């Protein structure tokens, strides 16, 4: 699964930056075409849900997804599946 921010919905509040335990969302610096600075993703393949959602068949963690007031965070299927080398720091 791949983590994506829907640029047409995100208002750049950075609540996701605040809550992700892995620091995957980083405050952005550039305006997008709607004039909004959306966060940038730092190695999103580390996200628990990216790695394990398919295995467990349910949402894992998902805190960014619930707190995002604008429902701008989603996971999409990766096709064809791209294996990732994942390093998770604890």
Partner 1 sequence: MIAPDWFREDRLPHIYCTGCGNGTVINCTLGAVEEMGWKREETVFVSGIGCSSRAPGYILTDSLHTTHGRALAFATGVKMARPDLNVVVFTGDGDLAAIGGNHFIHACRRNVDMTVVCMNNHIYGMTGGQGSPTTPPGAISTTTPYGASEPAFDLAELAVAAGANYVARWTSYHVKELTKAVAAGMQTPGLAFIEVRTQCPTNYGRHNKLRRVSDMIEHLRSHAMLVDKYNRLTAEGKPVPDGTFTVGELVRRNRPAMGVKS
Residue 1 binds ligand SF4, judged by CB under 6 A: no
Binding mask 50-89 for ligand SF4 (x = CB under 6 A): -----------xxxx---x-x-xx----------------
Minimum CB distance to ligand SF4, residue 80 (Å): 22
- With CB under 5 to 8 Å by kind, the binding choice for 74 among partner 1, ligand SF4, none is partner 1
Q: Give the nearer residue to ligand SF4 in terms of CB position, either 69 or 80.
A: 69
Single out the residue of 88, 25, 15 nearest to residue 51, CA to CA.
88
Give alpha helix (H) positions in the chain: 15-19, 48-56, 63-67
Residue placing its CB nearer to partner 1 in the complex, 19 or 84: 19
φ and ψ at residue 66, rounded to 5 degrees: -80, -35
- Helix/strand number for the chain, H first, E second: 3, 4
């Amino acid at each position: 699964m791949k983590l994506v921010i829907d640029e047409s919905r995100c208002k750049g509040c950075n609540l996701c930056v605040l809550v992700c335990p892995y620091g995957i969302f980083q405050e952005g610096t550039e305006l997008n075409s709607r004039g909004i600075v959306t966060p940038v993703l730092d190695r999103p393949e580390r996200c628990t849900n990216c790695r394990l959602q398919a295995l467990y068949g349910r949402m894992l963690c998902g805190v960014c997804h619930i707190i995002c007031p604008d429902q701008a965070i989603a996971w999409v299927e990766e096709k064809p599946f791209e294996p990732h080398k994942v390093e998770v720091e604890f």
